[in-house]
């Protein structure tokens, strides 16, 4: 069991790199959407570059990190199966399922963007980008606070965070409309 902490450290490292990919991929989608609003040849040049960047991020960082984080998580649960009896772990695993669904939806969007099928607005993608943030906050608080976590305050905190993120997006949009170079 002395290697348990090494496995835990590797799990955490790959969770961080997985989230890095999930934070950045919608940002690249936003840039891609905005590139399509430019005239030729800028549109095609930017689009090709963004497709390449997105493909590298997705297949070299995000997918491998997701797989490795999951493998190390399962390994940790095999070594310490009592965690599966903890109520906070059930909630955490629910958020992990949501994270996997979010990841798979990003994969679907990625595939569409690679084929130049762009059906979203940049504002929609800015809101979509906050999905990983909400899941990250929920999981970190669950893991750190475990049994001391008050579920009512936790749910209220996530709702307040969501509202603050939405207000931040609206404020950014207002500032950007006043100053297009922002």
- DSSP summary character for residue 58: I
d(CA 81, CA 88) in angstroms, rounded, equals 14
Q: Give the residue, 115 or 174, on which the prediction is more confident.
A: 115
Region of 39 (left: φ > 0; alpha: ψ -120 to 50; beta: rest) is: beta
The residue count of the chain comes to 182
Show me where the domains of the chain are located: 4-178
Q: Rounded mean pLDDT of 58-67?
A: 98
Does 92 appear as a known binding residue? yes
Q: Rounded mean pLDDT of 128-148?
A: 84
At 182 the pLDDT is: 61
Residue found under tokens 């100053």: 179
CA atoms within 13 A on the CB side of 117: 6
At 137 the pLDDT is: 85
Question: In the numeric block, which tokens belong to residue 93?
Answer: 């695993």
Distance, C-alpha 62 to centroid of its chain: 10
At 79 the pLDDT is: 95
Query: How many CB atoms within 10 Å of residue 154?
Result: 17
Model pTM greater than 0.95? no
**By the 8 A CB rule, do 8 and 70 touch?**
no
At 152 the pLDDT is: 64
Q: Which residues contact 18 (CB under 8 A, 6 or more apart)?
A: 62, 65, 66, 69, 103
**By the 8 A CB rule, do 67 and 104 touch?**
no
At 147 the pLDDT is: 63
Does 11 appear as a known binding residue? yes
3-class state of residue 120 by DSSP: coil
Q: What is the rounded average pLDDT for all residues in the chain?
A: 90
Q: Rounded mean pLDDT of 38-47?
A: 93
């Amino acid at each position: 069991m002395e290697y348990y902490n090494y496995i835990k450290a590797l799990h955490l490292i790959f969770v961080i790199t997985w989230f890095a990919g999930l934070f950045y991929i919608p940002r690249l989608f936003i840039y891609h959407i905005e590139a399509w609003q430019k005239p030729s040849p800028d549109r095609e040049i930017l689009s090709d570059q963004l497709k390449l960047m997105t493909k590298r991020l997705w297949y070299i960082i995000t997918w491998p990190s997701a797989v490795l984080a999951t493998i190390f998580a399962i390994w940790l649960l095999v070594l310490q199966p009592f965690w599966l009896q903890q109520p906070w772990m059930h909630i955490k695993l629910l958020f992990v399922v949501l994270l996997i669904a979010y990841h798979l939806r990003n994969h679907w969007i990625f595939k569409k963007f690679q084929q130049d099928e762009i059906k979203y607005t940049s504002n929609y993608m800015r809101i979509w980008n906050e999905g990983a943030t909400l899941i990250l906050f929920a999981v970190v608080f669950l893991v750190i606070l475990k049994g001391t976590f008050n579920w009512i305050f936790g749910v209220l905190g996530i709702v307040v965070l969501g509202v603050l993120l939405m207000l931040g997006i609206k404020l950014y949009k207002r500032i950007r409309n006043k100053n297009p170079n922002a």
